[in-house]
């Protein structure tokens, strides 16, 4: 059986030309996509600042610094970063030679005050007990002087006798007055020393109670931050042993860029980007400070970004993101763009 092939028949497609045509269409399509992508990137890059204002932010919360007013050495840490703690829960156990020395000084001062108080009590007791004898001596001296002066002829007595009588009375008066003053002053000093001793005792009790054997507890309910002391570390007075974020009061500190068309104001709605998720929030207040965002997360490849800080409150139905995480905040300049963004978030369930 003979089959006749017609290779030059115009009605029969050439397979080589067909493959070339399909490949050309694919190359042109990829090239067009590339051109459109590059153009779209530049259009978005240069037109986005005219639609919305964006800048970085930090998820944070009010924090409490856990510290002690002494130089201490951390013996044990009872919490870990990210752990939830309650008020009064132990955070660490420390020891402090400074506290031991302070308590020893108080004890020494109490011993000295007690000794001095005992000496004054003895002195006051001796003065009071000797006062009756001194007064009796004064009465006898007064009687002798009175008899000497009441005689009809005082000059009949010798000069030595009269001198002895007057000297005895003067010494008796001086002795009685000195004992009375000594007893009164000693009693007054005893009262003052008793007050001083009580003050020292109160300082001793307060220092011992505040140190509490080296137990450091959490002042509030919250979450332990990442910065925490380690066992064996020496911490100076006032330095942080741990930082605790207050539970249930999460906000976002937004570092507003300097270049903006409209200044953010309290009450403006914003969109917060956390990874692929988007959540909604409201600007609560504009803080009268400017801070450097890279002060917390520095970069060698770009200049530090400074900006005024706006505090953003999340919507009540929004699950708060992780503390200390970095987010992107977007504030749209028009209500239409803001509603479109919020609708986009709800439509694709990005929250």
Enumerate the β-bridge partners of residue 282. Answer: 269, 313
Backbone angles phi, psi at 96, to 5 degrees: -145, 110
Token pair listed for 161: 């006798």
Q: What is the DSSP letter of 155?
A: G
In terms of domains, do 194 and 224 share one? no
In terms of domains, do 126 and 205 share one? yes
At 93 the pLDDT is 92
Expressed as residue numbers, the domain containing 342 is 50-89+218-351
Whether residue 26 is contained in a domain is answered as no
Neighbours of 283 (CB within 10 A): 21
Whole-model pTM? 0.61
Whether residue 12 is contained in a domain is answered as no
In terms of domains, do 222 and 317 share one? yes
What's the structural domain count of the chain?
2
Domain with 114 in it: what CATH number? 1.10.287
Final residue of a structural domain among 212, 243, 272: 212
In terms of domains, do 85 and 106 share one? no
Whether residue 301 is contained in a domain is answered as yes
Domain with 246 in it: what CATH number? 2.40.50.100
In terms of domains, do 83 and 231 share one? yes
At 108 the pLDDT is 92
Whether residue 20 is contained in a domain is answered as no
Report d(CA 272, CA 269) in Å as an integer: 10
In terms of domains, do 343 and 262 share one? yes
In terms of domains, do 149 and 223 share one? no
Residue 252 near residue 57 (C-beta atoms within 8 A): yes
Report d(CA 222, CA 79) in Å as an integer: 12
In terms of domains, do 205 and 323 share one? no
The closest alpha carbon to 91, from 226, 244, 250, 246, belongs to 244
Total residues found in the chain within this entry: 351
Whether residue 68 is contained in a domain is answered as yes
In terms of domains, do 104 and 128 share one? yes
Report d(CA 310, CA 331) in Å as an integer: 12
In terms of domains, do 60 and 152 share one? no
Whether residue 35 is contained in a domain is answered as no
Pairing of strands 326-332, 234-235: unpaired
Whether residue 121 is contained in a domain is answered as yes
3-state SS class at 158: coil
In terms of domains, do 81 and 226 share one? yes
Query: Model confidence over 206-217: pLDDT tens digits?
Result: 988 888 888 999
Final residue of a structural domain among 167, 185, 212: 212
Token pair listed for 131: 């006062």
In terms of domains, do 264 and 287 share one? yes
Whether residue 199 is contained in a domain is answered as yes
Final residue of a structural domain among 191, 212, 233: 212
pLDDT per residue of the chain (351 residues) written in tens, 0 to 9: 454 545 555 555 555 555 556 666 777 778 778 878 777 766 656 666 666 788 888 888 888 889 888 889 999 999 988 889 998 899 999 999 888 898 999 999 999 988 888 888 888 777 777 777 777 777 777 777 777 667 656 566 666 766 776 777 777 777 777 777 777 888 888 888 889 889 999 999 998 888 888 899 998 898 898 888 888 888 898 888 999 998 878 899 988 887 777 788 898 888 888 877 788 889 988 888 766 555 444 454 455 555 688 899 988 888 888 888 888 888 887 777 667 666 666 665 655
């Amino acid at each position: 059986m003979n089959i006749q092939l017609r290779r030059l028949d115009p009605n029969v497609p050439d397979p080589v030309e067909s493959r070339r045509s399909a490949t050309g269409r694919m190359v042109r399509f990829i090239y067009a996509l590339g051109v459109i992508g590059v153009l779209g990137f530049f259009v978005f890059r240069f037109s986005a600042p005219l639609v919305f204002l964006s800048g970085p932010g930090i998820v944070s919360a009010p924090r409490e610094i856990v510290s002690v007013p002494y130089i201490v050495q951390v013996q044990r840490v009872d919490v870990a970063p990210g752990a939830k703690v309650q008020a009064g829960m132990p955070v660490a156990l420390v020891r402090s030679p400074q506290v031991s020395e302070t308590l020893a000084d108080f004890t020494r001062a109490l011993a000295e005050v007690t000794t001095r108080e005992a000496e004054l009590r003895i002195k006051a007791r001796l003065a009071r007990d000797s006062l009756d004898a001194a007064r009796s001596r004064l009465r006898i001296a007064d009687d002798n002087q009175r008899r000497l002066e009441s005689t009809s002829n005082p000059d009949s007595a010798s000069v030595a006798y009269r001198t002895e009588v007057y000297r005895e009375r003067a010494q008796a008066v001086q002795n009685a007055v000195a004992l009375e003053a000594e007893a009164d002053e000693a009693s007054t000093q005893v009262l003052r020393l008793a007050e001083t001793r009580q003050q020292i005792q109160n300082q001793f009790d307060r220092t011992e109670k505040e140190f509490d054997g080296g137990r450091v507890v959490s002042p509030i309910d919250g979450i332990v931050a990442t910065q925490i002391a380690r066992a064996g570390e020496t911490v100076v007075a006032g330095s942080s042993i741990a930082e605790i974020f207050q539970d249930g009061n999460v906000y976002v500190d937004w570092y507003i860029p300097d270049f903006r068309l409209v200044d953010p104001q309290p009450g403006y709605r914003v969109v917060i980007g956390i990874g692929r998720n988007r959540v909604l929030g409201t600007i609560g207040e504009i803080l009268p400070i400017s801070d450097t965002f890279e002060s917390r997360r520095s970069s060698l490849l770009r200049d530090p970004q400074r900006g005024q800080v706006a505090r953003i409150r999340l919507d009540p139905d929004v699950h708060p993101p992780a503390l200390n995480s970095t987010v992107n905040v977007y504030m749209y300049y028009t209500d239409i763009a803001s509603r479109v963004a919020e609708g986009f978030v709800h439509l694709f369930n990005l929250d």
